[in-house]
Structure 1
Amino acid sequence: MATKLSELLFGAFPDLRYQPTAKRVRADFEGSPVVDTQEALLVWEPKRVTPVYAVREKDLLVRLRRPEAEGGSTEEHPFAWSTSGQTGLDPRTGFRRHTAPGEELDVVGSAFTAAHAAFRPSDPDLEGYVVLDFKAFHWLEDQEEIIGHPRDPFHRVDVRATLRRVEVMLDGVKLADTVGAQLLYETMLPVRYYIPPEDVRLDLLEASPRRTVCPYKGEARYWSLPGSERGKNIAWAYDSRFIDAQQIHGLVCFFDERADVAVDGELQPHPITPWS
């Protein structure tokens, strides 16, 4: 019997997962070295959709200790992947919300302490490794800065040009109309329609202070539709830091979880995602 690969991946979703990476991985805290290794692992705790780095304790350039303080609670952001009801933890859920057994640790350097920024899993396959809080440190793979979270080797982004007519409406207002969209296909996510700014009614939108980062596409700035609750931070565009995302640099995309998108006159369904 044939196996659908996405079902195979989701079948492991409740488990602690890891994958070795051949890349040289380094981290620092405001310039103070934390780790330098070529034996890092990518680790996904149960119900996590994005990986973090695990490194051998022997490769750490700092020391670990048991936490001196309890620390605050970690807000959880669950989400449903599909109508089947399978749930996971949105990446906004903090590092300290661990879903596998293990021990929390502080990371202590000569000039800093990163409280609760390490986790030693109680798993024989990860013996000798500690998982580090990505957001606590600045990261490099070889000579390239990594933002957001480590790139997932099983996650792919492809961009394809289309001549199909793409229209975007919200609350009865047409916000975009183009035959020059770029279609972005991303593993486990719905197709996104990136539209040239000259085909977007930017005069109807208001720049937002919101900024987010994506390890595959860069840093995004946002726009909102004034007077619309559904229109808050409804559209975004990425900067040009990553050359492998250059087909969408400066193009505008809309959350079709909330906006109405028609392709060649056919209204598309609203997808179910962490941004629904």
Structure 2
Amino acid sequence: MGLAWQQGPLAGGAVGRFLVPVELPERLLYAEPSRRRMRVRFGDSWIADSEDVVLLHEPGRYPVAYFPLEDVVPDVLTTEDRTTKHKDLGTTTWFTVTAGDAQKTRAAWQHTDLPNHAGDLKGRVAFAWRAMDAFYEEDERIVGHAADPYHRIDIRRTSRHLVVRDGNRVVADSSRPMVLYESGFAPRWYVPREDVDDTALTAVEGQTFCPYKGLCSYYDIGAAHRAAWSYEDAWTEVRRISGLVSFEPDKVEVELDGTRLRLEPGQGVVSHGIDRDLSVEELSG
């Protein structure tokens, strides 16, 4: 999750609540300085480079990076005739982005009629993530969406007893699983391969990626489609789960210390905002 998506405190499906005596507005937007250098690449050129990026956290969306216009290469943006209306931020002007031989319409936007309380976004432009070639923090590519400072992953070693069954067949039996705590999600339990009956897993086509964990592969277990998954080469920050297997408790029987696990709020991943339907191809290029 982040501050405003999945089950974050500003999201529509927040798992917690603010302990305040008055009712909060239905929608709360939050803008803050990123304090990270961000760059945008398009048409084999760097078209934006800034250490003064503002992140906008808007309910139901991934965070969006807004760059000062003075940190965007001149003549990259061409104003389009079409405008839209943002329910909180007023008129939105759209731009065609051009660099060399590359051109994308509706690839950047600016809120040009901001209410007084939203002055943090004045004179700033945001780029549509999928329309650009890539976004970077310093010299490292950021995949999926702007890095959310409120998204955290902790991985803990445990000696709890986890058993996975498909009918009468024991698929996994471990007293050394790893538990992955990810902001806004219910805990996920990862089992070492040595404690898994690999013959019960049938690899299936189609992978997904997580901006925080990397490329994910899936397995059928008997008639249960995509009932297990594994990050075979998890990203550095979560390397401890590389090659381990996790199981869907609504598709196979997962028992922890004798208690059957059930699907909990926050188990499912929901794509939000302008960068929906992210695909494995985001990892290339």
Q: TM-score range by the shorter chain?
A: 0.7 to 0.9
- Corresponding residue for residue 126 of structure 1: 121
- Corresponding residue for residue 30 of structure 2: 17
**3-state DSSP class of the match of 1:232?**
strand
Give the C-alpha shift of residue 170 in structure 1. Answer: 4.6
**Separation in 2, partners of 1:16, 1:167:** 43
Q: 2:260 aligns with which of 264, 267, 273?
A: 267
Give the C-alpha shift of residue 266 in structure 1. Answer: 0.5
Q: Does residue 42 of the first structure (1) align with residue 55 of the second (2)?
A: yes
**Separation in 2, partners of 1:13, 1:51:** 18
- Corresponding residue for residue 223 of structure 1: 219
| 1:64-123, Cα deviation, whole Å (9 max, x unpaired) | 2244799xxxxxxxxxxxxxxxxxxxxxxxxx9x76542332222222112222121343
Please show how residues 75-224 of structure 1 align to structure 2 within 5 Å. Answer: 100=88, 101=90, 102-121=92-111, 122-123=113-114, 124-137=119-132, 138-170=134-166, 173-224=169-220
Give the C-alpha shift of residue 175 in structure 1. Answer: 2.9
**3-state DSSP class of the match of 2:52?**
coil
Do the aligned partners of residues 30 and 236 (structure 1) sit closer, same or farther apart at CA in structure 2, a change above 3 Å counting?
farther
- Corresponding residue for residue 65 of structure 2: 53
**Separation in 2, partners of 1:99, 1:20:** 23
**Separation in 2, partners of 1:56, 1:260:** 52
**Separation in 2, partners of 1:168, 1:214:** 24
Does the 8 Å contact 1:261/1:268 carry over to 2?
yes
Give the C-alpha shift of residue 23 in structure 1. Answer: 1.2
Q: 2:237 aligns with which of 244, 249, 259?
A: 244
**3-state DSSP class of the match of 1:250?**
coil
**Separation in 2, partners of 1:193, 1:169:** 14
Scaled by the length of structure 2, the TM-score of the pair is 0.74
Identity %: 29
Do the aligned partners of residues 103 and 173 (structure 1) sit closer, same or farther apart at CA in structure 2, a change above 3 Å counting?
farther
Mark the structure with the bigger radius of gyration: 2
| 1:187-233, Cα deviation, whole Å (9 max, x unpaired) | 1110000111222233222222222222221221222235x3xx322
Does the 8 Å contact 1:40/1:55 carry over to 2?
yes
Do the aligned partners of residues 105 and 175 (structure 1) sit closer, same or farther apart at CA in structure 2, a change above 3 Å counting?
farther
Does the 8 Å contact 1:257/1:272 carry over to 2?
no
Do the aligned partners of residues 240 and 8 (structure 1) sit closer, same or farther apart at CA in structure 2, a change above 3 Å counting?
farther
Moved more, 175-184 or 236-245: 236-245
Give the C-alpha shift of residue 269 in structure 1. Answer: 2.6
**3-state DSSP class of the match of 2:226?**
coil
**Separation in 2, partners of 1:8, 1:200:** 42
Do the aligned partners of residues 161 and 17 (structure 1) sit closer, same or farther apart at CA in structure 2, a change above 3 Å counting?
same
- Structure 1: give runs of 5+ residues left out of the alignment: 71-95
**Separation in 2, partners of 1:216, 1:142:** 17
Give the C-alpha shift of residue 265 in structure 1. Answer: 0.9
Give the C-alpha shift of residue 171 in structure 1. Answer: 5.7
Does the 8 Å contact 1:41/1:54 carry over to 2?
yes
- Residue correspondences, number: 242
Do the aligned partners of residues 192 and 66 (structure 1) sit closer, same or farther apart at CA in structure 2, a change above 3 Å counting?
same
Letter in 2 for 1:45: E
Give the C-alpha shift of residue 8 in structure 1. Answer: 4.2
Scaled by the length of structure 1, the TM-score of the pair is 0.76
**Separation in 2, partners of 1:232, 1:30:** 40
**Separation in 1, partners of 2:135, 2:227:** 30
Does the 8 Å contact 1:66/1:104 carry over to 2?
yes
Does the 8 Å contact 1:43/1:131 carry over to 2?
no
**Separation in 1, partners of 2:258, 2:125:** 52
